[in-house]
Amino acid sequence: MATKGKLMTRQALLAHCEEEMKLIRPIFKKDDVVVEFGCGLGGNMIAASGHVQEVIGIDINPFYIWHARRLSRRYPNCRFKSFEGKKLPFADASVDAVYSWAVFERIPKPAVEAYLREFNRILKPQGRSAIYLLRPEAKETGFTRLLGEGAYIYFEREEVEALMANCGFTIEQFIGWPAAHVCLAEKSVA
């Protein structure tokens, strides 16, 4: 299985996702309906599924959804919705949490902002969000070796703070990795 930038067995992928999800899990509550934006093969959804009521994956690429459905077939609380790329397929204030991992690193900044506004729209009051954005330091970590530095979008911490505030979020926690910011946030009170 080719994923996370290398070939992995199913077992290795799920172990890897388990580790990543430890960072995101603080935003989950047991009864939550959670959305993963850009779910890929669904490994993170499987890792999330034991901690929430339901995880719904969306991805712009139907090929990934097809594989994610197969990979998660033994996890009945993992579901999928098709997504045409702009408006998230959920009603206003209808989900408890939305997260995204390793997706915004290749999406232009104005589109990232538009998606974060969508995250805010679909979240219930006090809903929670976790996002992963590349830091400029990623250029020195070898993370970008596959496609080259120019293929990725980087955010300074101050930019993330302004972006989240503009999109209606209050940042609860910033986890600085060598290559990425992992930002946990809550929907701001209107």
Compute the least distance from the CB of residue 51 to ligand SAM, in Å.
16
Q: In 3-state terms, what secondary structure has residue 178?
A: coil
Contacts of 139 (CB under 8 A, 6+ apart): 149, 154
Identify the burial level of 82 via C-beta atoms within 10 angstroms of its C-beta, where 0-12 means exposed, 13-18 middle and 19 or more buried. Answer: exposed
Among 27, 38, 46, 71, binds ligand SAM (CB under 6 A): 38
Residue 40-79 contact track with ligand SAM, rule CB under 6 A, x = bound: x--xx--------------xxx--x---------------
Among 1, 8, 14, 102, binds ligand SAM (CB under 6 A): 102
Check residue 14 for interaction with ligand SAM (CB under 6 A). Answer: no
Of the listed pieces 71-79, 87-95, 102-110, 150-158, which binds ligand SAM according to CB under 6 A?
Answer: 102-110
> With CB under 6 A, what is the number of residues at the site for ligand SAM?
16
Asked if 118 contacts 58 with a C-beta cutoff of 8 angstroms, the reply is no
Neighbours of 114 (CB within 10 A): 14
Which C-beta is closer to ligand SAM: that of 61 or that of 166? 61
Check residue 143 for interaction with ligand SAM (CB under 6 A). Answer: no
Asked if 83 contacts 56 with a C-beta cutoff of 8 angstroms, the reply is no
Residues written for the chain: 190
Q: Give the span between the Cα atoms of 14 and 42, in whole angstroms.
A: 9
Q: Which residues bind ligand SAM (CB under 6 A)?
A: 37-40, 43-44, 59-61, 64, 83, 85, 101-103, 107
